[in-house]
Amino acid sequence: MGRAAGYILSLCLSLAAPGAIADEFGDPDRGKSIYAQCQMCHQVGQGAVHRVGPHLNGIFGRTPGAVEGFTRYSPGLVRAGADGMVWTFETLDVYIEEPRSLVSGTRMNFSGISAPQDRYDLLAYLREFSASPANIPEAEPTAAPTNPDLDPAILAIQGDPAYGEYLSGECTTCHQADGSAQGIPAIVGWPTEDFVLAMHAYKRKIRPHPVMQMMASRLSDEEIAALAAYFNALQ
């Protein structure tokens, strides 16, 4: 059974059996021990409050950057929510594996969890604190159910800043080359790896912005690397 089909089946089962959808994701008991990596910054469960990060009660179906009472969100996470992203199994799976691949400039100082089963078990545990099974899963996931990691050879490409400048015309019709942010996020001085991760996330439709998805789909790996080098070099 494919993952999407399995999600739909688990949704039906969850209406009759509370906790079944978490079991479909992974082992929530094992996920509780994995959650130890998160508890320095996030609380979950009865009486959970905001700490360094927001509490994680009701995380499934929630809009990123929008929990009442928490004010320390990164601008990137707030933008992701404004662009229409929702925390589902798919988006959380991507974010937990490599936060920067989904949200540029995230303040979540976390190296990620590389093992898929560890992520599924953790999400099964967190799922127990979300009260609305109908929020997830979605028939059409908001993020690709594939591993977001890029081939190291792609990240190792040394972009040509001069070529990136030549290609940058379409970017600077919206993004300001002087680094100002007039309703559009600035990309000047962006770390090259973050830029490459973000563009490939748009290319794979992991990030939800439709215009950026279209723009990224036109670019080769070498062109993305060149743009990353050019914008990183600008001050």
Q: Decide if 60 contacts 136 (C-beta within 8 A).
A: yes
Residue 85 burial (C-beta neighbours within 10 Å; 0-12, 13-18, 19+): buried
Q: Where are the domains of the chain?
A: 3-135, 152-233
Q: Is pLDDT larger for residue 105 or for residue 233?
A: 233
Per-residue pLDDT of 172-186, as tens digits, reads 888 877 766 666 777
Cα angle, residue 121 at apex, residues 115 and 124 outer, rounded to 5°:
140
Which tokens in the block code for residue 16? Answer: 């009759």
CATH topology match: 3-135 vs 152-233: yes
Rounded to whole angstroms, how far apart are CA atoms 150 and 159?
Answer: 16
pLDDT, mean over the chain: 79
**Which range is most confident: 19-33, 132-146, 167-181?**
167-181
In this predicted structure, which of 38-47, 126-135, 141-150 has the lowest mean pLDDT? 141-150
For the full predicted model, state whether its pTM sits above 0.75. no
CATH topology (fold) of 3-135:
Cytochrome Bc1 Complex; Chain D, domain 2 (1.10.760)
